[in-house]
Structure 1
Amino acid sequence: ALRGQASDAAASRAALQGIPQLMRQALGSDAACREAAKYISQRHQFIFLGAGPNWVTAMEAVIKVLETSYVPSSGYETEQFLHGPFCQVDARAAAIAIVAGGAADLRMHSVLEACGALSVARVVVAMAGAGLDVEAEQRVEVPAAEKWLSPLVLVVPLQLISYYVALDRGTNPDSGRQQEADHAKAQKIFAL
């Protein structure tokens, strides 16, 4: 019963050791991230969508946008989004889909097609070769990684998009609103 576990562990270790290089390569998506940010920066609401381990990636992207540009943002698992939250989107929103490949791509295709019917701005952040049929006006692609490690690579362009959205909106992505007296005073009440 234990046969094969050592080779699985070795393969997992090798995949994990390759992540820093894949993250460096993901930085090569900078120009596409800048274009995607420019496309969505003036939208009034951001919806981040992910499936499997990338639901958490969607939540991390929400935190970054809230911290850097203060755009109201929400993150959802793809199916969860269709059961209620979909009703809140309209043409003022942007939907950013995080696509790592696999069965969830088909559902993401349907979700973004429905968003398109509402004139929602659509961006796909995908691993190489994933989600090629997922419709969007902007696409950012990063190197492929094992699905369980994909959040570590896919978060890189999401961080870049958050940064460029802040710059396009004229907010300081590094301050967390510390330059505003009321926020600076309020944030002294708690420690991070």
Structure 2
Amino acid sequence: MSRKTFQHHMIREIHEQPKAIEATLAEERQQVVKVAEEIYNEKYEMVYITGSGTSYHAGLAGTFSLSLLTKLICSSIPASEFGVWLPSTIPRKALLIAISQSGESTDVLEAAKSALKRNMKIVAITNTPQSSLTKVADYTLLTHAGEELAVTATKTYTTQLTLLFMLTLELASLQRQGSEKIEELKKALTEAPRLVNKTLTSNENLMREFAYNFKHVNCFFLLGSGPNYATALEGALKLKEACNVFAEGFASREFLHGPIQLIDGQTPIIFILTKDEIEHFKGLIKTVVNFGAPLIPISEEKQAFSDFSVKAVEIPEGFPKIFSPILYIVPLQLFAYYSSIARNLNPDKPEKLRKVVK
């Protein structure tokens, strides 16, 4: 589609995600293999992942995949806190994966400097070749998203996720030579562009409808578990940035430990549920519905919510849960965009935000 088709950069960039992911999968594969081999051969014991805002959320999802599929011990720390939280004693072989779409974020660069002082090697994940971050890094992985003009990041997020999942699979493949499971997951990840496109086309009208239905609502809670805890945080961030509303993401059952006190009939709950989680969280779903909160489920199993008389957002079936943040964030990006339009705001340039935080 041409740029003239779209009213704002944000919605254009949301629609560019299938091609951006496809380009990242194709054009960065050899470099990912090279970096994975270096990490494997150096026998790193610990991996820290850092970033700010959207990049930190990508890092959380990456921490989940690396912890689940590889033998590496992984930890995510927000970039602004990295120097404070980094233990005084770290393993001799420790690696930092530093994520920044611009490669110029002050907090991420400071985190990288803290890592260098500890003799840690650095992998940069960025959308900007020759940025400051790439110059301090030992290895660089590039998201092939193209220029992102909206302050509200979308396509750089899903391509960051793509790179982290690619790196996870290559490391897992080296550690488990000949594993059929890893080969199947590699094949499944190549389906991401098609499935993101399907998620876009099947949900755009519904997310526009939700946006206008809730245009007078100024508080949202988003719940997600496993890798989609990161999705809940990122979805809440998009609503804050684009719509100027209070939105908070929680690990699903953590919502019961205090925040549930705040819900009422005017407080929508956006519940992110992969297929295998629905039965486990049915009690929590019933609880929020009984308190009168409007429920927006996002799941592969649309029919599972028919008892609650709500419209569910349907995600295409068959994509592995470990990669699911790539798909589950898409309806939330659309919801944030159309909520901004419904409120007569400019989603490309929130007045208090800048694309690069220095």
**Residue 229 of structure 2 corresponds to residue 55 of structure 1:** yes
Deviation per CA, 1:33-77, whole angstroms, max 9, x where unpaired?
112222323222100011111111000101100000011011011
Unaligned runs of 5+ in 2: 1-174
Structure 1 residue 112: Cα displacement: 2.8
Aligned with 1:15 (options 188, 192, 204): 188
Cross-structure match for 1:114 = 287
Cross-structure match for 2:81 = none
CA contact (8 A) 1:100 1:130 kept: no
Q: Distance in 2 between matches of 1:131 and 1:150?
A: 19
Cross-structure match for 1:180 = none
Deviation per CA, 1:103-156, whole angstroms, max 9, x where unpaired?
x313433223222223222111112x3671373633111212111111101111
**Residue 299 of structure 2 corresponds to residue 133 of structure 1:** no
CA contact (8 A) 1:123 1:136 kept: no
Shift in alpha-carbon separation, 1:11–1:44, aligned structure 2, 3 A = same
Cross-structure match for 1:191 = 357
Deviation per CA, 1:4-29, whole angstroms, max 9, x where unpaired?
84312210110111111100111111
CA contact (8 A) 2:302 2:312 kept: no
Pairing 1:29-108 to 2, within 5 Å after superposition:
29-102=203-276, 104-108=277-281
CA contact (8 A) 1:32 1:139 kept: no
Q: Distance in 2 between matches of 1:12 and 1:130?
A: 24
Q: Distance in 2 between matches of 1:136 and 1:54?
A: 24
Shift in alpha-carbon separation, 1:160–1:51, aligned structure 2, 3 A = same
Q: Distance in 2 between matches of 1:112 and 1:170?
A: 32
**Residue 333 of structure 2 corresponds to residue 159 of structure 1:** yes
The DSSP-based 3-state class of the residue aligned with 2:271 is strand
CA contact (8 A) 1:126 1:140 kept: yes
The DSSP-based 3-state class of the residue aligned with 1:24 is helix
Structure 1 residue 99: Cα displacement: 1.3
Q: Distance in 2 between matches of 1:75 and 1:136?
A: 24
Q: Distance in 2 between matches of 1:164 and 1:142?
A: 19
Unaligned runs of 5+ in 1: 178-182
Aligned with 1:148 (options 317, 322, 330): 322
The DSSP-based 3-state class of the residue aligned with 1:93 is coil
The AA in structure 2 aligned to 1:70 is N
The AA in structure 2 aligned to 1:33 is M
Q: Distance in 1 between matches of 2:190 and 2:350?
A: 33
Structure 1 residue 164: Cα displacement: 1.0
Question: Structure 1 length normalisation: TM-score?
Answer: 0.84
Task: After superposing the two structures, state which structure 1 stretch, 37-46 or 74-83, moved more.
Answer: 37-46
CA contact (8 A) 2:305 2:312 kept: no
Aligned residue pair count: 181
Q: Which has the higher contact order (CA 8 A, sep 6+)?
A: 1
**Which of these two proteins has the greater Rg computed from alpha carbons?**
2
Percent identity between matched residues is: 27
Question: Structure 2 length normalisation: TM-score?
Answer: 0.47
Q: Distance in 1 between matches of 2:322 and 2:185?
A: 10
Q: Distance in 1 between matches of 2:289 and 2:261?
A: 14
The DSSP-based 3-state class of the residue aligned with 2:275 is coil
Shift in alpha-carbon separation, 1:164–1:3, aligned structure 2, 3 A = closer
